[in-house]
Amino acid sequence: MTDSYRTRLRSFVVCAAGFGVLCVFVLFGLVDPVFAQEDFLTTSAEASGLPQTNIILIIARLIRAFLGILGIIFVILVIYAGFLYMTSKGEAAKTDKAKKMITQAVVGMLIIFSSYAIASFIINAIVGATGGQIVSKTAVEKYKEPLAGALGAGIVESHYPPRNAIDIPRNTKIFVTFKEAIESKTIIKDDGTLDNNNVWIFETAKGKDKKLDSSAVKVATNEEKTIFVFDPVDLLGNPTSDTNYTVALQPGIKKADGSNAFVGVYSSGYGWTFEVSTEIDLTPPKVVSMIPKNDSEEARNITVEITFNEAMDPVSSTGSYITGKDTQFTNITIAQKDVGNVQGTYEISNGYKTVGFTSINACSKDPCGDVIYCLPANADLSVTAKAATLDNSNPPQAQLIGVKYDGLTDASGNSLDGNGDGVACGTENDTIVCSDSSKNDNYAWVFKTTNTINDTVPKITTLNPGIDGQEIDQNALLEISFNTLLKASTVNTTNVSVWPDPLYLMWFSTGKEDDVNAKTSKALVNHAAFISNAEGGYDYYPVITNGLKSVYQICMYPSMQVGGNCDGGNSNQPYCCNGNPSATACQTVNEPGTLPGNVK
């Protein structure tokens, strides 16, 4: 081997070693915490249809491939040096050259193999299922649903039909509930029709250019201007095939204070799809449970609730009965014997299935310092849920009086079936009756109050998934069981939520299930599909704040969990963070910041 060749070989070894070290530093440099942050505003890749494999991952794979090629080259050099040694025939000069070539090749090969091993380890850590950010970022693009993040995390509290719902009847109405009051003029025109510049409703296959005209949709809202009901004049879909629809809430929608409803990462608005069947819903709704139970005796701070078997029209189910108001809500009444109707407000929640009443009579405070409102003490009370007047030409459909009903109806406009016999009889004033001219389909029950206040603090009894749970079903509901009945309107996305870490746009919604006999409730969280472990699954943090309250209006403070370290509710450590008591409110670290709320 000549000196020039030996010099070139040494240079090649040094360069290869330097390249290997550089690769390691490059790979370490690529795994930067900033990379884990999600760019919520970048949608061009999805729109273009281009491959969404991250450029950093491509570079890393090229580096590993090049290192592999260098390894092959050095193997060839070792083989060649061995051949020279075996054919040297004892000549000292040739033997020394062969030994030096082998030594240099082996040293270079060790450096390359070490670099390859380190680089492979780093790449595999990035690509593997144990939290590699490159794969997770790519997976986010796969799992992310466009214009969905405002549900739960943003201003949208709930809507009907739900996301991706199927078998929705053709005569359904569309509901949207916002977390704050909305400037109704940005949704409803002066003539009561839809402002279709800000709310698009269209057959998905036909696209937004075929959205429903303003005159094709009537719109109603509740007193607080937080719930909007969109009622298509014509039936949706057709009688021969299922039809997919899209509803898109546009950035032009304003809050009551004039500011934008959709801001920040949600500034593009919110949208969802559902599938309409070929059928028309002519089945009336019925009551499935009520709180308190019939003929029971309860503490005076109980919230009265009625739960139905399906989503109810929120405008016909909510309102207030307060002396001195110009309009009074009487579709549901709570009356004290020999006195009259109890003053208070009615609100709907739990996927539009539960209506709750809270009186306006302040009587105490809960552990969080919030006011508790009470029913009359030592009183005989009766609750009446009123059926709506029937449309005599099309029962069980109810008759619209303006844009509202004079009784309770479901999402398809069917009047309440109070006795649960499957037939809606409407009110006693209807010309169409069910065999008895004095009969109506109101639902009523009675209960008594004591002069006591129930101050039981809600306590978590079971969690599913449990703390630090693994291999969780990507689509399973989150279930949090409690030792007491919960007030439905507080089981909302502000008080019960789920957040991914690192943070990315993900929708979620809430509800509850009651066991009235056992006097316990289960809070439920529906959500977008979690990123699977095989694709770099993230950590997910369910967050329950002390805004969640029992049906007796008692907040969850101190936070307690049966069978955990927080059991008993230490007054010096009132918060429960991932199963451990804490003196300060819990926060879950996230990218790019921290999550709102207190983990309970």
Question: Residues 266, 298: one domain?
Answer: no
CATH code for the domain of 334: 2.60.40.1220
Lowest average pLDDT, out of 119-133, 170-184, 305-319, 370-384, goes to 119-133
Which one of 276, 301, 320 terminates a domain?
Answer: 276
Domain for residue 315, yes or no? yes
Read off the DSSP letter of residue 401.
B
Buried b or exposed e, range 36-63, using 16+ CB within 10 angstroms: bbbebeeeeeeeeeeeeebebbeebeeb
Task: Give me the chain's average pLDDT, please.
Answer: 84
Integer Cα distance of 567 and 256 in angstroms: 43
Bigger pLDDT: 27 or 435? 435
**Structure confidence by residue, pLDDT tens digits, 445-478:** 999 999 999 999 999 999 999 998 888 999 999 9
Question: Residues 397, 338: one domain?
Answer: yes
pLDDT at position 269, please?
Answer: 97
Question: Looking at the predicted structure, is the pLDDT value of residue 496 above 90?
Answer: yes
Which one of 120, 143, 166 terminates a domain?
Answer: 143
Angle at 201 between CA 197 and CA 202, to 5 degrees: 120
- Mean pLDDT, residues 9-16 taken together: 49
**Structure confidence by residue, pLDDT tens digits, 334-358:** 999 999 999 999 999 999 999 999 9
Burial class (CB in 10 A: 0-12, 13-18, 19+), 426: buried
Question: Looking at the predicted structure, is the pLDDT value of residue 332 above 50?
Answer: yes
Question: Residues 14, 87: one domain?
Answer: yes
Note the pTM of the prediction, 2 decimals: 0.78
SS3 percent helix, strand, coil of the chain, rounded to 5, is 25, 30, 50
> Letter for the amino acid at 252?
G
Joined tokens for residue 438: 């004095």
- Mean pLDDT, residues 185-189 taken together: 97
Q: How many domains does the chain have?
A: 4
Bigger pLDDT: 103 or 197? 197
pLDDT at position 571, please?
Answer: 79
Question: Residues 413, 307: one domain?
Answer: yes
**Residue 565 — pLDDT band, cuts 50, 70, 90?**
confident
Question: Residues 295, 441: one domain?
Answer: yes
Question: Residues 228, 170: one domain?
Answer: yes
**Residue 205 — pLDDT band, cuts 50, 70, 90?**
very high
Question: Looking at the predicted structure, is the pLDDT value of residue 495 above 90?
Answer: yes
Domain for residue 587, yes or no? no
Question: Looking at the predicted structure, is the pLDDT value of residue 107 above 50?
Answer: yes
Bigger pLDDT: 244 or 433? 244
Domain for residue 593, yes or no? no
Question: Residues 392, 507: one domain?
Answer: no
Question: Residues 440, 469: one domain?
Answer: no
Output the CA–CA distances (angstroms, integers) from residue 353 to 41, 158, 349, in the order listed.
35, 12, 6
Share of the chain above pLDDT 70, in %: 79
**Structure confidence by residue, pLDDT tens digits, 392-429:** 888 899 998 877 899 999 999 999 999 999 989 888 76
> Letter for the amino acid at 28?
F
pLDDT at position 136, please?
Answer: 55
Question: Looking at the predicted structure, is the pLDDT value of residue 197 above 80?
Answer: yes
State phi, psi for 7 to the nearest 5 degrees: -65, -40
**Residue 50 — pLDDT band, cuts 50, 70, 90?**
very low
Question: Looking at the predicted structure, is the pLDDT value of residue 34 above 70?
Answer: no
Domain for residue 9, yes or no? yes
**Residue 509 — pLDDT band, cuts 50, 70, 90?**
very high
Crossing angle of the two packed helices 92-127 and 55-86, in degrees rounded to 10: 160
pLDDT at position 40, please?
Answer: 27
pLDDT at position 590, please?
Answer: 52
**Structure confidence by residue, pLDDT tens digits, 143-154:** 888 899 999 999
Closest listed residue to residue 578, CA positions, set 600, 546, 548? 600
Question: Residues 193, 64: one domain?
Answer: no
Output the CA–CA distances (angstroms, integers) from residue 253 to 2, 58, 186, 421, in the order listed.
80, 42, 5, 43
Bigger pLDDT: 205 or 570? 205
Which one of 143, 165, 200 terminates a domain?
Answer: 143
Q: Which residues contact 588 (CB under 8 A, 6 or more apart)?
A: 499, 501, 541, 543, 594, 595, 599
> Letter for the amino acid at 307?
T
Domain for residue 600, yes or no? no
Lowest average pLDDT, out of 46-60, 113-127, 543-557, goes to 46-60
Lowest average pLDDT, out of 48-52, 368-372, 536-540, goes to 48-52
**Residue 532 — pLDDT band, cuts 50, 70, 90?**
confident
Integer Cα distance of 456 and 414 in angstroms: 39
pLDDT at position 593, please?
Answer: 41
Q: Which residues contact 195 (CB under 8 A, 6 or more apart)?
A: 185, 186, 187, 188, 189, 214
Question: Residues 8, 72: one domain?
Answer: yes
Bigger pLDDT: 587 or 576? 576
Question: Residues 209, 296: one domain?
Answer: no
Question: Looking at the predicted structure, is the pLDDT value of residue 283 above 70?
Answer: yes
| SS3 of residue 340 by DSSP | strand
Question: Looking at the predicted structure, is the pLDDT value of residue 43 above 50?
Answer: no
Joined tokens for residue 490: 């507080």
pLDDT at position 380, please?
Answer: 97
Q: Which residue has the tokens 């009901």?
A: 229
Lowest average pLDDT, out of 101-115, 239-253, 496-510, goes to 101-115
Domain of 172?
156-276
Bigger pLDDT: 438 or 300? 300
Question: Residues 20, 123: one domain?
Answer: yes
Domain for residue 588, yes or no? no
Domain for residue 149, yes or no? no
Output the CA–CA distances (angstroms, integers) from residue 313 to 170, 195, 349, 423, in the order listed.
15, 20, 11, 19
